[in-house]
Structure 1
């Protein structure tokens, strides 16, 4: 039998293009599975094959567990008993003893054969997948082999991949036998079926299609900086030219639109806007909103948003059907874009200017004229007045050095006073919370970080709310809430 084993391993390894080690491992598992069928108890049997001679030995083994934790005596052994047989064993180790090899009857041989071929198929699939991934391809072209619960199983070469229903382009009617291209979205090694998950809706699919259609991208003359899609309807892609002599938009469009048309046809008629990228974010946003014409932009870097002013005639085009144009432009640029008319933008600016003017008048104790000057030159917070470089403030024509220094000192004093008041408020809140039984400093800080700054605010919570906010156990949360509410009933 030993010679037969070696011949079998050689044949399977050669036929299935897998290593002999994988075949030996599968064979050992198969023989062990067949041997177990000769026993009524669920024994843990291990087979070891000598890869040089083909001889094999059978062992029965037990998992070492704590003395009071034995659940399956056929497979587990108490630590104290295991130490009597072999020293230096720990919980989680295995102890084994040799047993007589079992002769395999027809049923056992059939079971072993099934296990072997299943393991070989798994290994073959993994080997084919690894060979494919090493090539670095990100778009595959294959034939739909079957449809399962709305998902398409696509075969290319010796590999099967799945195109989920939610990764198909809407309104696209794919059928068995159709040839399709798709982007490799991820590799799911936990799946028993196809391990490659594909997508036809990913923005990266659009990027890779352009890379295939436009040789200048592969050559490094052009560079794709981003893409956004409403699959099947409209997309935007930002391109940059690394050669000032090359027009990025015209190059991607191609002669008579041939290149962009090839991409559009692959995407079931999806309209693609090619946008020229710019490192100036305002210019990039204006380009991204094309063909709409932008009249003005106001940036708010803190909230990473922009107010976009457009003429009334351009409003509908800027927003797009169902907000499509502004949504895609926002995804492409990474900024939240607020579209409004020029009149609305002016009203908003005036409202903000009025609020800031009142802030400076109240906090800096200045008249409306001084406050208005600060607003008109672009100041909107006390922090800006207090800490902007002195040289920049001295550039304001209406202010001399003495006025500038006085304004800066007043702003700093107000900020310091507010910080002290805020710290005192936090300390008072912490003391109030710490007075409650069951609340320690760590929990008090968690609560204040969530805006719970008083006993009453804590009392308004349910125990479930406190558990969700802080992660404390339900019993402790219930006791704390009861303590927080005690003063309501006294």
Structure 2
């Protein structure tokens, strides 16, 4: 091993961030195994690499004993003191045993160690970069697919898009550019494994952050997302500033902002509703585009009975119950939808009117106080 190799290790330290001393120590450890393997030696040895010249030397380490039972591991006190009178029992004597043709083996071993360390360092760098991108969105290029995954090139690493995270209405072709949500970054023996999703609600949230500056800067907040990927989604938005229209900001001029997201999600319908701390208003908004006559709230079991016009019942419930299901998921409230006719038969409208009357009386009493 020459000084050029040491210079190369110094350059590697600068470029890849791998400490030169760490590599040299790893080479020394690997050379011990190489020496024992290639020269059929079972003795205890130490390999030393001179940090200035690159010279490699192999030393057999032997314990000083009164009586030698294994000459490969032990040396008598008498013999040790012939080399140095200061040796005592239980000391360790080092004798150089460097083979003449050890340089070639050393070069091969060093190359293997350096290659392995560089690979490990690159994997570590990629892992560190992507672990910070969990729950973030990235653009990748579809490479290939099998019965389990679609493999997407993210630049420095190939990510896995499982079947369960794919959109049912979407087909993926080679070289397609897609935006995906990073769900998990794991360390494996083969390097970092990146799992991505096209169906995760987080993808919808991140797409709105990209398209709507008011969300990115915090003027408008997305408080909840309910999604049935590829078909329909609902998001609830809120702005602390009363002069800001959170729904309008997300829709954009002539619907341009939301339309860009719909196109990215291959036509997925998106309802944008305004969040409210009042469950009556929030549930009413969440059932958009259906009109709501009234919402009866049961705080105890966090459930609501929603009354809608007869001609709005199917719209409020939605195809296969989807609109009501998404609204319940978005708000966190159970939602039971009744038509106006059914509500009258059950006396729910009278109950709702009584609740409103009580609220009105309480408000007036509060004002009088």
Contact residue 229 and residue 236 of structure 1 kept, 8 A:
yes
Residue 139 of structure 1 corresponds to 137
Between stretches 168-177 and 229-238, larger displacement belongs to 168-177
> What's the secondary structure of 1:290's corresponding residue?
coil
Match of 1:169 among 167, 170, 180: 167
Return the offset for 1:3. 3.7
The structure-2 alpha-carbon separation of the partners of 1:276 and 1:59, relative to structure 1 and needing over 3 Å to count, comes to farther
Give CA-to-partner distance per residue, 1:208-238, whole Å, 9 cap, x none. Answer: 1111111112232211111111101111111
Q: Cα gap change, 1:132/1:185 in structure 2, threshold over 3 Å: closer, same or farther?
A: closer
Report how far residue 49 of structure 1 moved.
6.2
Alignment of 1:302-321 (within 5 A): 302-321=300-319
Match of 1:207 among 199, 205, 213: 205
TM-score normalised by length of structure 2: 0.71
Distance 1:313 1:219, change over 3 A: same
Aligned to 2:7: 7
Of the two structures, which has the highest relative contact order with CA contacts closer than 8 Å and spacing of 6 or more? 2
* Aligned counterpart, 1:301: 299
Could you tell me whether the CA contact under 8 Å between 2:123 and 2:191 is conserved in 1? no
CA contact (8 A) 2:135 2:181 kept: no
TM-score by length of 1: 0.55
SS in structure 1 at match of 2:291: coil
Deviations for 1:372-392, whole angstroms, at most 9, x for unmatched residues? Answer: xxxx99xxxxxxxxxxxxxx9
Structure 1: gaps (5+ residues): 61-84, 87-96, 354-375, 378-391, 396-490
Shift of 1:288: 0.6
| CA distance in structure 2 between the aligned counterparts of 1:59 and 1:201, rounded to whole angstroms | 61
Aligned-residue CA RMSD in angstroms?
A: 4.1
Question: Would you tell me which structure has more strand in proportion to its own residues?
Answer: 2
Distance (whole Å) between structure 1 residues aligned to residue 333 and residue 318 of structure 2 = 17
Distance 1:337 1:124 in 2: 52
2:128 to 102, 127, 130: 130
1:238 aligns with 2:236: yes
Aligned-partner SS, 1:195: strand
Does the 8 Å CA contact 1:210/1:263 hold for their aligned counterparts? yes
Shift of 1:155: 2.4
Match 1:179 to one of 153, 177, 180: 177
How far apart are residue 335 of structure 1 and its match?
A: 2.0
User: Counterparts in 2 of 1:356-375, with a 5 A limit?
Assistant: none
DSSP-derived class of the 1:154 partner = strand
Residue pair 1:22, 1:123 contacting (<8 A) in 2 also: no
Cα distance in 1, alignment partners of residues 44 and 231 from structure 2: 58
Q: Distance in 2 between matches of 1:307 and 1:48?
A: 81
CA contact 1:308–1:338 (8 Å) conserved in 2: yes
- Shift in Å at residue 126 of structure 1? 1.6
Q: Which is further off, 135-144 or 305-314?
A: 135-144
Corresponding residue for 1:226? 224
Q: CA, structure 1 residues 54+215, in 2 after alignment: closer, same or farther (shift >3 Å)?
A: same
Match of 1:288 in 2: 286
8 A contact 1:229–1:235 mirrored in 2? yes
